[in-house]
């Protein structure tokens, strides 16, 4: 075989139509061997002849896509000094575009001698070869016919996100052919896409699809790493979701999925895990980074370099101040945008990415790189704003380019609907976009990714059916998972035939979904919540790759009604700009944005404007809010003033029905109910200003203004009254 010098960049295996250039970074290596693996598992070792700037490289003419390979790195094995090179371990390419196979937990995957490790001796290698027990990198064909593919580029304020699991969403859908259920092809199937389109989804956020591994301790218990937050390949689509093969076919399948979603106007956002890798703590396997250059890729404990500094709870954290780590992450992000055509990223435990040393730094190198990068800065960047490090919860502290999962929205909305004593000011702030969190950094309501539930907790159906977690199936005696869920079972724990309890649960579910979709910011629906998906009270189903987590598409009458209700809510949001403003309301967040501009007003049940004492009432559970469709400050895409319908939202979190007096004609002369979470059918009767509307116990009523004469503008107001008649 001919061996040419090749090039140090791009890193990874790059096929050009005639051969493949291989390049891998290692500063600590004395030598690096490229290992080509044949179909029978045989190995051909080739010592890389060139090294430039610590990048080892060679070009092999005649090598084709589908070729499996790995690396063996010769260098010091001295954990006490932070070095863990071990040529007995066949290592994944950190830049592998595809990965074949699985790993089996064999002792050969671990470099240390397990007996000696138990005695506290860590500098002795076991010497077992991991070939045949580990994952293999694959050369891919980069060519793909994208046709006329274009990113949908939905603006944030027009975005509705759907958090989904590739496998969980499609495994039980009878309209998806059995052969492609649980795969990228299953997501691309017309039945799946039509469900998203009918629901009004503009972006699907896929839980981790970077190549991940199954934890050995879960395999021993017959479980699996279902969520996938255990990444080992930052460039490779996970091979377990491939329908047509794992020798590069998964790349083509993933691209076809993205193309199909784009054709339907749906963006693709990836949930990415750059904060740690699947190699775990000092007792973990040697799969890739650890054996290539441990000290360069990982944050080590300064006082004991044999151990890893961990702000993720998973055993290790990547070294974000190392330029080669930053290059890896940025190269990966650009690859997924430019080559795989994805539209954005949600960053798991994003606070870790900002920790160059200990504290979370808004001016960290990672944020700087994202800001100036011409590719990455132009896509959606969503942070999960916490980790388990010092000052871990960082909501509101990310730079202006970023949006954030708003956990305070989740907690406040849950508390309100379960009847917790709290100030209405907190609820009002979350409903109006959380300006207290984002306005100080120059951001807008779109910085708030609003959610009530996500993958890591109760489903929405379980949130209203369980007080306690029920995680026995996880094999940890129910010790795992969050114990403080801000949930309420509505009087009975778990399944019940009681019609009153079931009706209350349905109403609470609709309350939560309505609040989510009618709040300012960007709503995110967790997959299956639109059809009442349950996990049987399991709030930590990370290891349940089975019917506990998979969506059940056989809908009851109640579930079908909930689906139609959710569709109607999304449509209401889409058609009315007052629910998706690009700018904050003019007033203070602790008074719900109220000001002399009257773009929003808050009322008591008596129809009078809220006074200071009303805002401070910690036991108040009911409020009415006016959203003025004639006082939207931002222009539309063509620079024209936005004029929309006005709405009244009546929130009754009280345990008894309440009569709300509609405000005076100044705010609107007549109203019609659009949404009532307590009613089987909405009355079309017109309600006049000053009359009363009954809101049942724990319910939400939305009324649209029919003839809204606008407000008499206060002195200096930029807005003038308008008259608009809405057809009945």
Active-site positions read: 348, 384
Tell how far CA 639 is from the center of its chain: 33
**List of residues 6+ apart from 125 with CB closer than 8 A:** 77, 86, 88, 111, 112, 113
Strand partners, 163: 205, 526
Rounded CA separation 617/552 (Å): 43
The answer to whether 90 and 130 are in contact (CB under 8 A) is: yes
Bridge-based pairing of strands 267-272 and 300-301 is: unpaired
The answer to whether 513 and 566 are in contact (CB under 8 A) is: yes
Which residue spans within 431-558 are E strands per DSSP? 448-450, 522-526
Rounded CA separation 646/576 (Å): 9
DSSP code for 611: P
**With the CA atoms of 517, 522, 527 and 529 taken in that order, what torsion angle do they form, in degrees rounded to the nearest 10?**
-20
Tell how far CA 289 is from the center of its chain: 25
Tell me: cis bond preceding 117? Omega within 30 of 0 counts. Answer: no
Q: What is the 3-state secondary structure (H, E, C) of 333-368?
A: HHHHHHCCCCCEEEECCHHHHHCCCCCCCCCCHHHH
Strand partners, 267: 203
Rounded CA separation 247/139 (Å): 8
For residue 330, with 0-12 CB atoms within 10 Å meaning exposed, 13-18 middle and 19 or more buried, which class applies?
Answer: middle
């Amino acid at each position: 075989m001919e061996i040419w010098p090749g090039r140090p960049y791009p890193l990874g295996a790059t096929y050009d139509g005639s051969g493949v250039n291989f390049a891998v970074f290692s500063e600590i290596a004395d030598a690096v061997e490229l290992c080509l693996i044949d179909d029978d598992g045989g190995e051909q070792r080739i010592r890389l002849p060139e090294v430039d700037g610590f990048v080892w490289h060679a070009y092999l003419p005649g090598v084709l896509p589908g070729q499996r390979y790995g690396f063996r790195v010769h260098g010091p094995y001295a954990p006490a000094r932070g070095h863990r090179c071990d040529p007995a371990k066949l290592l994944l390419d950190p830049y592998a575009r595809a990965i074949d196979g699985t790993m089996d937990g064999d002792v050969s995957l671990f470099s240390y001698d397990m007996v000696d490790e138990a005695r506290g001796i860590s500098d002795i290698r076991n010497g077992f070869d991991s070939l045949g027990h580990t994952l293999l990198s694959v050369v891919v064909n980069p060519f793909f016919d994208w046709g006329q593919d274009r990113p949908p580029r939905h603006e944030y304020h027009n975005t509705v996100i759907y958090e989904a699991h590739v496998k969980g969403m499609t495994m039980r859908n009878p309209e998806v052919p059995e052969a492609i259920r649980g795969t990228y092809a299953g997501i691309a199937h017309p039945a799946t896409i039509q469900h998203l389109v009918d629901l009004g989804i503009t972006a699907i956020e896929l839980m981790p699809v970077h190549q991940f591994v199954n934890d050995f301790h879960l395999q021993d218990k017959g479980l699996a790493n279902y969520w996938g937050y255990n990444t080992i390949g930052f460039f490779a689509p996970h091979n377990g979701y491939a329908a047509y093969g794992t020798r590069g076919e998964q790349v083509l399948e993933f691209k076809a999925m993205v193309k199909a979603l784009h054709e339907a106007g749906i963006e693709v956002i990836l949930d990415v895990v750059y904060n740690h890798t699947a190699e775990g703590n000092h007792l973990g396997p040697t799969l890739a980074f650890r054996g290539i250059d441990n000290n360069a890729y990982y944050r080590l404990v300064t006082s004991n370099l044999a151990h890893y500094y961990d702000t993720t709870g998973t055993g290790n954290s990547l070294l974000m101040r190392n330029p080669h780590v930053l290059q890896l992450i940025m190269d990966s992000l650009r690859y997924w945008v430019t080559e795989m055509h994805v539209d954005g990223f949600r960053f798991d435990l994003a606070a870790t990415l900002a920790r160059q040393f200990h504290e979370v730094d808004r001016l960290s190198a990672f944020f700087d790189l994202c800001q100036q990068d011409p590719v990455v800065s132009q896509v959606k960047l969503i942070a999960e704003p916490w980790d388990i490090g010092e000052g871990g919860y960082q909501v509101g502290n990310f730079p202006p380019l970023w949006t954030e999962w708003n956990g305070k929205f989740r907690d406040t909305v849950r508390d309100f609907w379960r009847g917790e004593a709290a100030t209405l000011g907190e609820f009002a702030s979350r409903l109006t976009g959380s300006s207290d969190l984002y306005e100080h950094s120059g951001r807008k309501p779109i910085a708030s990714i609003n959610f009530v539930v996500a993958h890591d907790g109760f489903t929405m159906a379980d949130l209203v059916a369980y007080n306690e977690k029920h995680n026995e199936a996880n094999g940890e005696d129910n010790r795992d998972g969050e114990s403080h869920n801000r949930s309420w079972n509505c009087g009975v724990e778990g399944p019940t035939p009681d019609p009153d309890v079931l009706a209350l649960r349905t109403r609470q579910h609709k309350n939560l979904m309505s609040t989510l979709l009618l709040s300012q910011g960007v709503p995110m629906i967790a997959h299956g919540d639109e059809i009442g998906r349950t996990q049987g009270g399991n709030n930590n189903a990370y290891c349940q790759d089975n019917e506990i987590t998979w969506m059940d598409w056989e809908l009851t009458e109640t579930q079908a009604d909930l689906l139609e209700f959710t569709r109607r809510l999304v449509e209401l949001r889409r058609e009315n700009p007052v629910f998706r403003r690009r700018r904050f309301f003019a007033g203070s967040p602790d008074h719900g944005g109220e000001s002399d501009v009257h773009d929003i007003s808050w009322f008591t049940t008596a129809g009078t404007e809220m006074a200071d004492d009303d805002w401070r009432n910690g036991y108040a559970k009911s409020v009415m809010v006016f959203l003025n469709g004639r006082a939207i400050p931002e222009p539309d895409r063509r620079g024209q003033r936005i004029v929309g319908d006005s709405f009244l939202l009546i929130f009754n979190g009280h345990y008894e029905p309440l009569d709300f007096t509609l405000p005076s004609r100044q705010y609107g002369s007549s109203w019609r109910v659009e949404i009532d979470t307590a009613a089987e059918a909405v009355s079309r009767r017109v309600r006049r200003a000053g009359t009363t509307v009954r809101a049942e116990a724990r319910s939400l009523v939305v009324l649209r203004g029919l003839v809204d004469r606008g407000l008499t503008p206060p002195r200096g107001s930029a807005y003038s009254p308008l008259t608009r008649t809405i057809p009945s």
